[in-house]
Structure 1
Amino acid sequence: MTTGTPRPRAGRHEQACPSPVAALVMVALLAAPLTAQDRAWWDTLPPVEQPRITWSRQSVHVPMRDGVRLAVDLYLPTGADRAHPVATILHQTRYRRGLQFRDPAREAAAGPTAGLMPFLQAGYAVVIVDVRGTGASFGSRTTEFSPEEVRDGWDVLDWIVAQPWSDGVVGATGISYPGTTAELAGTLGHPALKAVAPLFSIYDFLPDVIRPGGIFLDPFFRSWASLVARMDANRLDPPGGPVTGVRPVDGPEGGRLLAEAIAEHAANASIHPQAAALTSRDARSPDGISLDAVSPHARYDTLSRRIPIYSYGGWADGFSGSQIARFVAQPSPGSRLLMGPWNHGGAWAYYPGQRPVRSQFDQSRELLRFFDWHLRGIPTGIEHEPPVWYFTTGSNQWKSAERWPVATRDTVVTLAGSREGGPVRRLAVNPTLGTGNQSRWNTILGGGAVAYRPRQASDTAGQLHLTVVPVLEAPLTLTGRARVRLELAAAAPGTTLFLYLEEVDATGAGALVAEGQVLAPGPGVIEVALLPVSHQFAAGRGIRVVVTRRDIDHFAADATTGTPVEVAAVRVTLPIEP
């Protein structure tokens, strides 16, 4: 769940050895010039030059209610004091609040991480916290987002408003894990927290990340568990670079305190075996914590005071459905929804069938528009805008709406049906199939670009190609969740199925638009809601659905390899904009 933006890696398609046609198409796509077209609707003028400010940094330990000391970096604009108090942006992270550099000059000049410098430049105090059991904080972790970790948010807020430079007003934000900590802080009801902006973060742990469609996201949890274990032990990979590790707190005892804190992290539990054991909402961690005790979606029920929440995400993120689910379920006044063409973290834009490009959307300015209005009362234009903004790929334009879902009409297409005399289609297992190492599920572990090789009409091994529309006479815009209803004449319980909605060109090459997955309980009717998207299919292109039984790159394989799946009927429902 990191928020870095490494360079895009060479991906591999669901074919282990792509055909020459596929290779030629991909070369053509990669060679085609493309510039990001996701610049914000309000971004029509050059950015305003921010005045240069001076600031200070202080690294301290702050004790929690149970005595555990959390490492906190405080960044203050010069002049913030009791006579000139300022609002605060809070960022609670599992990924180290700051790094210590070997070069003293670089260490002294290091500003806030995670893209928070624009807030400091705009005159906010910035507080960055290592959550308990991580970074330079003391304590250990029995699970991620434990009740103790969530309650720490209240204690940190108490500490902030008690400082002489604080005006008593706080906003919280972050990407991915820190986005979830921001949202969880918002569920506490602390009077100082006035608005939160969880970006690209999880809303409902079980379907969003642990078992999308009921299938365990095994490779992600293996990799993420290894990554955070190295961080918690303050191990660098590779060693010997410009960074020595996590930043200790200030003072002559900082090094000793860091070593003591790192020693306590040795008791941290690994998330991988815990996540693998969570098969339902009733499941609990080894220390008895239920999913709903830590998942944001279940923590609002007893909250009497609702604050504005900015649900902010991208269509090409594995967590794309999370932002919409949050916005729909938590309609507090002032809340907003923003969905762009982005990967996890928003550094890259994904346009189906094209190579990835860097996003041109200014996230910092958008967040300042939100927080300046809700924390400072400064008119930014956001107070007059519709609450929903979303980007439609294909037509490449921003659109707004008063609510979600937006107005659409369902177009229903029946593709195959033995009851109407059509054949039963058999789907075998191809154990090599996967969506490659640049998929939406890769991007949640590093924020890398999203890219898929085009699927050719000849790529049929272990794949069921179903034509929804052979050739469109006019453009067609889909916004929302496409739904695929499968009537399975034969299927073993626990069969994994993966579904892909594609835009098909005249050569039969398909560009991935949306996807979904399901753990089938056996024969019968199942309906799969694909992840949400807004995309305009071009005139002259086709639409198809592809069904497979494996995504070996990202999901745990089932044990039904030798059991055939027979599909008797398929019905596809597309939410189409008028």
Structure 2
Amino acid sequence: MKEPMPKHAFVSSTLLALACLAACGDGSPPSPLGPGRHSVYMTAADGTRLAADVWLPAHVDAPVPTLLRLTRYWRATEYLGDGAAADREEQLADLYVSQGLAVVAVDARGTGASFGASTGPWNADERADGAAVLDWIVDQPWSNGQVVGLGVSYEGNTTALLAASGHPAVKAVVTRFYDHDPFAQLAFPGGIANIGFMAGWSAFTAALDRNDACALALFEGRTCAERQAEIAGPRPVDPDDLDAALAEHADNLDLAAALAGVTFKDDLLAAGGESFDDIAPYRGETARAAVPTLLTASWMDGGTAAGALDAWASEDGPMRVEIGAYSHGGIFDSDPLRDPLPAADPAIETQYVQALQFLAEQLAGAPAPARELRYVTLGEGTWRTTTTWPPASVTPRLLALDAGGALHDGEAEPGEDTLVVDAAATTGRDNRWLAALQGTPVRYPDRAAAAGLLSWTTAPLDADTRVTGTPVVRLQLRASVADAAVFVYLEDVDDGGVTRYVTEGQLRLLHRATGDAGPGRERVSGRSYRRADARDYAPGELVDLVVPLLPTSARIAAGHRIRLSLAGADEGTFAPITPDGATLTVLRGPTGSTLELPVDAAP
């Protein structure tokens, strides 16, 4: 779940010059800590001691800006023997320090070498601790009072929350592959529990929090003895305190157990605790809007692209959004419509150079960035830039689901198609939701013979067709059971019949009601996933379902066909809602089921 570190050779001299401009201060005396790395305890408002590492640059005679990382994955690792050569946290900090920045990395309470207990991801105490850390940094003699954030995944959310805090020290942030709406775009897409990812992530983080070397070795594909010979655990501030800190972690929320009791976005994770509504970064949109932001996501990484576009739609501040074809973290190429590249394009090192340049420019007093959205098109690798989403050149194309598995322009003949649900239907273990757990590229097998699908397919396309935006499936549907999950896939069928995944959407019937979910979030359906908006379902009831697919930009080549597939399960990823053998019946006809494609006419 962590990325390989960028190499110093990729850092440009121009970036170093910009960062040095940003480091100019008021001539205050340098920190008594001196250059290099220091492990210290900070004290939160309630007295909890938080473990931090501070790296200070050498040969700096004036206060400097600070790059802040707030993490729950250990701010630093205590290596044994030759393991120190692989200290990736130190490699990354050295890169930042080489740019004239101080670096502060903090273990969230209840994690790493910090004391206290965690009541859940991005909880209220953790958010308050972020503000306390900012105050601490500003008070240090080596600080010029300017703080920037750069975070990936969980740390992307903590970075977004820093920007949303309204703290005057925060000058710019880079959020990479974060979860703008952790309920709808990670834990419960379409209201269906993403048990494959969440159970694995919960077990992994629980093992980290108790420093369980043998459990962590299983996640890393090593033996317990191998891991114990290399890693002692989280880097301590004082070795005599580490066991006491780990003992307090025993009171951390059992997230897997808590999620088993969650159905709605406003359900509390624990009695007296918080809901997904409370922990989402968008809760501070107004404050965050003033902070220049570079936001990186991927069409193929969970719901990160949907989250990036939601942030774009709901926040008016200076923002650059970049959506690639990356795996989680930006390491691997994951374009399903091209032969896989060995690494992401652009490479991870280049991505970090661009991120640091963005931060350095803002610290140096450059004008706030213009609102701009850059995105790659799957199947061609071309990057485009727009200031509106979807681009002005996009128009909707409506395709009808018709008899014989046809998908075409115009109206369909009246009729119906029935899927007998196969509870073993699956998209595999390397899909967009699970690859992040393994740190692997997103890969889908040929879906031509995938089990448990009901499909509709177009004739071969006369010309290349670029789909850019949010495809929307509208189904007139009956289910034979009192609740069901509907999974819809957009696919590319080449002239040899090979069928490639493009994007997907899902919806639990309980959450089918639409309404005003707030600006930017679930923009197409207006779905809230809150308890008050739940709708019971009676078996056999005919309902109109609106299923927005995850956004994409993808070129379907001339001669290829577009396929829409329906399933009732994704075994191994999503919780089983629809019983094996239940039926989902789709009605066709002039006012029947349709696929709306956002087609881009630009060259």
TM interval, shorter chain, is 0.7 to 0.9
Amino acid in structure 1 at the alignment position of 2:456: L
Q: Match of 1:297?
A: 282
Question: Cα gap change, 1:192/1:446 in structure 2, threshold over 3 Å: closer, same or farther?
Answer: farther
Deviation string 1:275-324 (CA, Å, 9 cap, x unpaired) is 222211331122322322221122335x3972122221011100221111
Task: Please tell me whether the aligned partners of residues 400 and 412 of structure 2 are also in contact (alpha carbons under 8 angstroms).
Answer: no
What is residue 69 of structure 1 aligned with on the other side? 49
Report the counterpart of residue 599 of structure 2 in structure 1.
576
What's 1:38 paired with? none
Where does 1:159-178 land on structure 2 (aligned, <5 Å)?
A: 159-178=136-155
C-alpha separation in 2, matches of 1:75 and 1:404? 40
Structure 1, residues 160-194: CA drift from partner, whole Å, max 9, x if none?
Answer: 11111111100112111011011112111100011
Which position in structure 2 is the counterpart of 1:37?
none
Q: Structure 1 residues 304 and 568 mapped into 2: Cα distance closer, same or farther (>3 Å)?
A: closer
1:357-406 deviation line (CA, Å, top 9, x unaligned): 31142111110121012122258xx94x6611111122211110112222
Cα distance 1:355–1:403, how it changes in 2: closer, same or farther (>3 A)?
A: same
SS in 1 for 2:358: helix
Given the superposition, is the C-alpha separation of residues 508 and 200 from structure 1 closer, same or farther in structure 2, using an over 3 Å criterion?
same
How far apart, in 1, do the equivalents of 2:166 and 2:324 lie?
29
Counterpart Cα distance in 2 of 1:111 and 1:377: 31
Q: Do the aligned partners of 2:569 and 2:578 also contact (CA within 8 Å) in 1? A: no
1:337 partnered with 2:327 = no
- Tell me the CA shift for residue 202 of structure 1: 0.6
For residues 356 and 150 of structure 1, the distance between their equivalents in structure 2, rounded to whole angstroms, comes to 39
Q: Read off the aligned partner of 1:376 and give its amino acid letter.
A: A
Residue aligned with 1:348, SS = coil
What are the within-5 Å matches in structure 2 for residues 119-130 of structure 1?
A: 119-130=96-107
CA deviation after TM superposition for structure 1 residue 79, in Å = 2.5
Q: Deviations over 1:432-460 (max 9, x none)?
A: 2111111111123243211111111x44x
From 363, 380, 383, the counterpart of 1:395: 380
Q: How far does residue 559 in structure 1 lie from its aligned partner after superposition?
A: 4.5
Is the CA contact (8 Å cut-off) linking 1:413 and 1:571 kept in structure 2? yes
TM-aligned CA deviation for residue 108 of structure 1:
9.0
What aligned pairs does 1:253-272 form with structure 2 within 5 A after superposition?
Answer: 254-272=238-256
State the 1:487 CA deviation. Answer: 0.8
Task: State the alpha-carbon separation in 1 of the partners of residues 10 and 118 from structure 2.
Answer: 46
Measure, in 2, the Cα distance between the counterparts of 1:114 and 1:440: 28
The separation in 2 between residues aligned to 1:515 and 1:123, in whole angstroms, is 44
TM-aligned CA distance change 1:489 to 1:279, over 3 Å: closer
Query: What is the CA deviation profile of residues 249-271 of structure 1, one whole-angstrom value per residue up to 9, with x for unaligned ones?
Result: 1xxxx111111101110111111
Deviation at 1:115, TM superposition (A): 4.1
1:433 to 406, 414, 425: 425
Judging changes above 3 Å, is the alpha-carbon distance between structure 1 residues 264 and 476 closer, same or farther for their aligned structure 2 residues? same
Letter in 1 for 2:132: D
- How far has the Cα of 1:248 moved from its partner? 0.6
Report the counterpart of residue 56 of structure 1 in structure 2. 36
Partner of 1:481: 470
Write the letter of the residue equivalent to 1:129. Answer: V
Amino acid at match of 1:77: P
1:88 lines up with 2:66 in the alignment:
yes
Provide the secondary structure at the position in 1 that maps to 2:328. Answer: coil
User: How far apart are 1:5 and its partner, in Å?
Assistant: 6.7
1:355 equivalenced with 2:340 (yes/no): yes
- Is the counterpart of residue 530 in structure 1 residue 514 in structure 2? no
Shift of 1:211: 1.0
Q: For the Cα contact (< 8 Å) 1:293–1:299, is it kept in 2?
A: no
Judge conservation of contact 1:501–1:515 (CA < 8 Å) in 2. Answer: yes
Residues 350 and 357 in structure 1, CA contact (< 8 A), matched pair in contact too: no
Counterpart CA distance in 2 for 1:356 and 1:553 is 27
Residue range with higher mean Cα deviation, 437-446 or 208-217? 437-446
Matches within 5 A, 1:80-479: 80=60, 83-103=61-81, 107=84, 110=87, 112=89, 115-236=92-213, 237=217, 238=224, 239-249=227-237, 254-288=238-272, 289-300=274-285, 303=287, 306-319=290-303, 320-332=305-317, 334-353=318-337, 354-355=339-340, 357-361=342-346, 362-377=350-365, 383=369, 387-407=372-392, 408-416=394-402, 421-456=413-448, 458-459=449-450, 461-467=451-457, 469-479=458-468
Q: Is the 8 A contact 2:289 2:316 kept in 1?
A: no
Distance, in Å, in 2 between the alignment partners of 1:108 and 1:568 is: 62
Question: CA–CA distance in 2 between the matches of 1:392 and 1:462?
Answer: 29
Deviations 1:69-116 (A, max 9, x none): 111011111033xx411111111111001111113x864994635845
Alpha-carbon distance in structure 1 between the residues aligned to 2:94 and 2:345: 18
Q: Secondary structure of 1:454's match?
A: coil
SS at 1:157's partner residue? helix
Q: CA RMSD in A?
A: 2.6
1:545 aligns with 2:592: no
Structure 2 residue 6 is matched with structure 1 residue 3: no
Once the two structures are TM-superposed, the CA of residue 143 in structure 1 deviates from its matched residue by: 1.7
- Measure the CA separation in 2 of the matches of 1:285 and 1:222: 15
Deviates most, 437-446 or 123-132:
437-446
Match of 1:554 in 2: 573
> Is 1:499 the counterpart of 2:477 in the alignment?
no
Secondary structure of the equivalent of 1:89?
A: strand
Give the Cα separation in 2 of the matches to 1:331 and 1:305: 6
In the superposition, relative to structure 1, how do residues 555 and 363 fare at CA in structure 2: closer, same or farther (>3 Å)?
Answer: same
Asked if 2 retains the 8 angstrom alpha-carbon contact of 1:494 and 1:560, the reply is no
Structure with greater proportional helix content? 2
Distance in 2, matches of 1:331 and 1:561, equals: 46
Q: Percentage identity across aligned positions?
A: 32
CA contact 2:41–2:51 (8 Å) conserved in 1: yes
Pairwise CA distance, 1:51? 8.0
Equivalent position amino acid for 1:201 in 2: Y
CA contact (8 A) 1:356 1:451 kept: no
User: What number of residue pairs does the alignment pair up?
Assistant: 524
- Tell me if structure 2 keeps the 8 A contact 1:99–1:243: yes
Q: Is the 8 A contact 2:152 2:178 kept in 1?
A: yes
- Structure 2's unaligned 5+ residue stretches are 21-33, 218-223, 405-410, 511-536
Give how far 1:493 is off.
3.3
Counterparts in 2 of 1:465 and 1:156: CA distance versus 1, 3 Å: same
Check 1:372–1:51 CA distance in 2 against 1; reply closer, same or farther (3 A cut): closer
SS in 1 for 2:198: helix
The answer (yes or no) to whether the contact 2:324–2:375 under 8 Å persists in 1 is yes
How far apart are the structure 1 equivalents of 2:447 and 2:98? 47
TM-score, with normalisation over the residues of structure 2? Answer: 0.82
Higher RCO, Cα 8 Å, sep 6+ = 1
